[in-house]
Amino acid sequence: MKRHDYGAGYRLNEAVKCPTQALKRAAGIGVLIHEEESFPEKAAKEAMLVVSYGAAGEAAYEASLATTMEAIAEKHPGVTITQAFTSEVMIRRFAANTGIRLPRPEAALEGLASQGFTRVALVSLDFFPGLDYSLLTEIFQAYRARFKKLVLGTPLMYWMAQEEQRDDVADFVTALGETFPPRKMGEAVLLMGHGTPHPSNAFYAVLQDRLDTAGWKDVFVYTMEGWPRLAHILPRLKERQVKRVLLMPLMMAVGKHVKDDMAGEGEKSHRSILTAAGFTVEPYLHGLGESGAVRRLYVRRAEEAWDALRTAGGGNA
- Selected catalytic residue, list 34, 194, 257, 270: 194
Asked if 265 contacts 206 with a C-beta cutoff of 8 angstroms, the reply is no
Cite the DSSP H helix spans in 152-229: 168-177, 202-213
Known catalytic membership, residue 194:
yes
Q: What angle do CA 129, 130, 135 make, to 5 degrees?
A: 95
Give the amino acid at 233: I
Cite the DSSP H helix spans in the chain: 21-27, 58-60, 67-75, 88-98, 105-114, 131-143, 168-177, 202-213, 230-239, 256, 270-276, 292-310
What is the side-by-side order of every strand in the sheet holding 244-249?
A: 219-223, 187-193, 244-249, 280-283
Asked if 289 contacts 68 with a C-beta cutoff of 8 angstroms, the reply is yes
* Residues with active-site annotation: 194
